[in-house]
A and B are shown apart, each in its own frame.
Chain A
Amino acid sequence: MGSWEDDVRPGRVNKPWPVPVQVGSDGTPQAVGRLAVESVREEWLVEDGWWTQKPLRRRYFELVLEDGSDVVVFCEPDSGRWFRQRD
């Protein structure tokens, strides 16, 4: 399965970037970078493109961090890697 990271098209906007995330036993983020998660505002799942060479599977979270910032991160369950994305 290819990754969206393989997409080398120029000029791509809003490209997600890797971010360290600590997760709890239920898979919910506890901290993003050095900042603890205050609350989980939303949680959603995107599974699409199963008919293509690059099927997409992402578990998204919209989080409020301890500094009051609102961030969107997602995990690719197949690789277990976390990324942050501009909302």
Chain B
Amino acid sequence: MYTELHCHSAYSFLDGASDPAELAATAADLGHEALALTDHDNVCGAMEFAHACAGVGVRPIVGCELTVEVPRRRPRPVHVTLLVEEGRGWANLCRLITGAQRGPREPTSNGLRFRAPSRQRELLPPSLPIDELERHTEGLVCLSGCARDGAVAGSWERGDPTGAAYLARRLLRAFGPDRFRIELQRPLWRHDRSRNRWLASLAERLGVPAVATGDAHAHHRSRLPLQDALVAVRLGATLDETEGLRRGNSASALLSAEQAATRFRDHPEAVAETARLAERLRFDLTRELGYSYPGAEDRGADRRLADLCRMRLIHRYEGTPHCAEAERRLEEELALIRELRLSGFFLLHQDMLELAREVAAEVRGPDSARRLLPPGRGRGSSVSSLVCYLTGLSHIDPVKNDLFLGRFLNEELTEVPDIDLDFPRDIREKLIPRVHERYGPERSAPIAARRSRSICPPRSWKPTTFATRSISSAGSASALPRSRTAPRGR
């Protein structure tokens, strides 16, 4: 029995060539009971992965390959593989990733963090001091890292077995013998057997089990040329120039249990340990996140939302031909919202809109023509909701326009409905800190959305620009002249 405990998706951003859904589906085809996702320094794909796994009957294990800095004469970032065992571990993992992403980067005047001063304004890769990792180990299982850059195996590869053993002891002290494993990998590189022999003997000396991992970077070998190209794009070099930095063969596709047993035939106990360890890693991101919207626990929310809507319904519809239909529809919608326990969710959005109204009044002043502009406006499917219309979140009358509610809100809803609120530029600068002030820093945060898993294009790019740049990047990696990959006309 083999469970893959070290696997990268496209969310490793230019170091993984498959979607979480592809990995989950292939794991199911290969007969795996569970699969871990361990992207580089983030958990961006974790929720998508957890849902994809649930859909195909594979148990998802979430984790990440974290980059840590070890203070030595020549500090070099090394990797450790972290796997979540319980809810506390998820919290710690998120804390560690936040620290790694914030890390040693220098802030600049525009708020972004860049290596400074630098002509190229290059963003530093994430990393975290090892002592920070040692402070947040609860609920996490630590594997000693990959063959090339791992804290232990990587140090051995670089000719530093003393440093490798030192790091292994340090990690063992931090995580304890139950939650630390020496990681054996077999990427079919030159020194695999010597390295694994040494690592297995180190594990024996330390009194901890060794565990085999495949360091998968794709769900199928046919995707590995793409992996090569992504690495070349990430490094800004050609495929030829990146020879020693790519995987170098097709061994990094997801393994079946039979393939793993063959590949690790010198270490059958390390293969068996994957299943034993996976059995313990039962944290379910889809069920145990424990997050509820502010107000969900508020028993008075149902009544307050109903009162607000009924009062505004009279104001909006009394005396119109749509009044009876609006009353019927409102009661139906309120009942559905009560059943889904979302009254607090709607009140939260309405509260935020009222906050924006206050800020708009301050920013624009009583005499400005802009005072008449709305402080924010909902869009998308939320315009089909009468509750959204009455609470000011939408400006479209769904009764008059006969809009169908089901796309926005229905009894089978498994996620919270999507309410997009757009706030005008002139109030954002004041509104954002005011939101943090009102809801508290532990319950509000700015987020950024990546529009692609490989390259994040600026908003100003047209859809075709992204395709053009992707082709151009792939062309550069293949050392093709620019004239071959440039657009041929409009």
- With a cutoff of 8 Å between Cβ atoms, the chain A residues found around residue B251 in the complex are 45
Task: Please state if B191 and A42 are interface contacts (CB–CB under 8 Å).
Answer: yes
Give complex CA distance A10, B189 in Å: 30
Give complex CA distance A44, B251 in Å: 10
Task: Please state if B225 and A44 are interface contacts (CB–CB under 8 Å).
Answer: no
Is B440 among interface residues, defined by CB-CB distance under 8 A? Answer: no
- With a cutoff of 8 Å between Cβ atoms, the chain A residues found around residue B190 in the complex are 42, 44, 60, 62
Give complex CA distance A60, B249 in Å: 12
Is B478 among interface residues, defined by CB-CB distance under 8 A? Answer: yes
Contacts A48-B243, A50-B225, A51-B478 given; does A43 touch B193 at CB 8 Å: yes
Minimum CB–CB distance from B184 to chain A (whole Å) comes to 15
Task: Please state if A45 and B225 are interface contacts (CB–CB under 8 Å).
Answer: no
Is A8 among interface residues, defined by CB-CB distance under 8 A? Answer: no
Residue of A40, A43, A46, A51 ringed by the most chain B CB atoms within 10 A: A51
Contacts A41-B194, A51-B225, A51-B478 given; does A46 touch B249 at CB 8 Å: yes
Give complex CA distance A41, B266 in Å: 12
- With a cutoff of 8 Å between Cβ atoms, the chain B residues found around residue A45 in the complex are 188, 249-251
1/0 contact string of B134-169 vs chain A (CB within 8 Å): 000000000000000000000000000000000000
Task: Please state if A47 and B194 are interface contacts (CB–CB under 8 Å).
Answer: no
Interface size for A (C-beta < 8 A) is: 13
Among B429-480, those with CB < 8 Å from A are 478
Contacts A51-B225, A51-B478 given; does A44 touch B239 at CB 8 Å: no
1/0 contact string of B18-48 vs chain A (CB within 8 Å): 0000000000000000000000000000000
Among A23-66, those with CB < 8 Å from B are 40-48, 50-51, 60, 62
Task: Please state if B250 and A44 are interface contacts (CB–CB under 8 Å).
Answer: no
Task: Please state if B249 and A47 are interface contacts (CB–CB under 8 Å).
Answer: yes
Interface majority SS on A: helix, strand, loop or mixed? strand
Minimum CB–CB distance from B157 to chain A (whole Å) comes to 14
Minimum CB–CB distance from A25 to chain B (whole Å) comes to 13
Task: Please state if B243 and A47 are interface contacts (CB–CB under 8 Å).
Answer: no
Task: Please state if A44 and B243 are interface contacts (CB–CB under 8 Å).
Answer: no
Is B327 among interface residues, defined by CB-CB distance under 8 A? Answer: no
Task: Please state if A44 and B194 are interface contacts (CB–CB under 8 Å).
Answer: no
Task: Please state if A42 and B193 are interface contacts (CB–CB under 8 Å).
Answer: yes
Is B354 among interface residues, defined by CB-CB distance under 8 A? Answer: no
Q: Which residue of A lies closest to B238 (CB)?
A: A51
- Of B188, B225, B228, which contacts A43 at CB under 8 A? B188
Give complex CA distance A44, B192 in Å: 8
- With a cutoff of 8 Å between Cβ atoms, the chain A residues found around residue B246 in the complex are 48
- Of A40, A42, A46, A62, which contacts B248 at CB under 8 A? A46
Task: Please state if A47 and B248 are interface contacts (CB–CB under 8 Å).
Answer: yes
Give complex CA distance A41, B225 in Å: 29
- With a cutoff of 8 Å between Cβ atoms, the chain B residues found around residue A48 in the complex are 243, 246, 248-249
Q: Which residue of B lies closest to A58 (CB)?
A: B249
- With a cutoff of 8 Å between Cβ atoms, the chain B residues found around residue A40 in the complex are 193
- With a cutoff of 8 Å between Cβ atoms, the chain A residues found around residue B191 in the complex are 42
Q: Which residue of A lies closest to B246 (CB)?
A: A48
1/0 contact string of B247-284 vs chain A (CB within 8 Å): 01111000000000000000000000000000000000
Minimum CB–CB distance from B190 to chain A (whole Å) comes to 5
Task: Please state if B194 and A42 are interface contacts (CB–CB under 8 Å).
Answer: yes
Among A58-79, those with CB < 8 Å from B are 60, 62
Give complex CA distance A46, B250 in Å: 9
- With a cutoff of 8 Å between Cβ atoms, the chain A residues found around residue B250 in the complex are 45, 47
Give complex CA distance A40, B194 in Å: 11
Give complex CA distance A43, B196 in Å: 12
- With a cutoff of 8 Å between Cβ atoms, the chain B residues found around residue A60 in the complex are 190
Among B173-193, those with CB < 8 Å from A are 188-193
- With a cutoff of 8 Å between Cβ atoms, the chain A residues found around residue B189 in the complex are 44
Q: Which residue of B lies closest to A59 (CB)?
A: B188
Q: Which residue of A lies closest to B232 (CB)?
A: A51
- With a cutoff of 8 Å between Cβ atoms, the chain B residues found around residue A62 in the complex are 190
Give complex CA distance A50, B227 in Å: 12
- Of B193, B228, B239, B243, which contacts A41 at CB under 8 A? B193
Task: Please state if A51 and B188 are interface contacts (CB–CB under 8 Å).
Answer: no
Minimum CB–CB distance from A48 to chain B (whole Å) comes to 6
- With a cutoff of 8 Å between Cβ atoms, the chain A residues found around residue B249 in the complex are 44-48
- With a cutoff of 8 Å between Cβ atoms, the chain A residues found around residue B194 in the complex are 41-42
1/0 contact string of B187-215 vs chain A (CB within 8 Å): 01111111000000000000000000000
Give complex CA distance A24, B191 in Å: 22
Q: Give 6 closest A-B pairs by Cβ, nearest first.
A: A45-B188, A47-B249, A45-B249, A44-B190, A44-B188, A42-B193
Apart from A48-B246, A60-B190, 16 more pairs, CB < 8 Å? A41-B194, A42-B192, A42-B193, A42-B194, A44-B249, A45-B188, A45-B249, A45-B250, A46-B248, A47-B250, A48-B243, A48-B248, A50-B225, A50-B228, A51-B225, A62-B190
- Residues on B lying within 8 angstroms of A by beta carbon are 188-194, 225, 228, 239, 243, 246, 248-251, 478
30 contacts between A and B (CB under 8 A): A41-B193, A41-B194, A42-B191, A42-B192, A42-B193, A42-B194, A43-B188, A43-B192, A43-B193, A44-B188, A44-B189, A44-B190, A44-B192, A44-B249, A45-B188, A45-B249, A45-B250, A46-B248, A46-B249, A47-B248, A47-B249, A47-B250, A48-B243, A48-B246, A48-B248, A48-B249, A50-B225, A50-B228, A51-B478, A60-B190
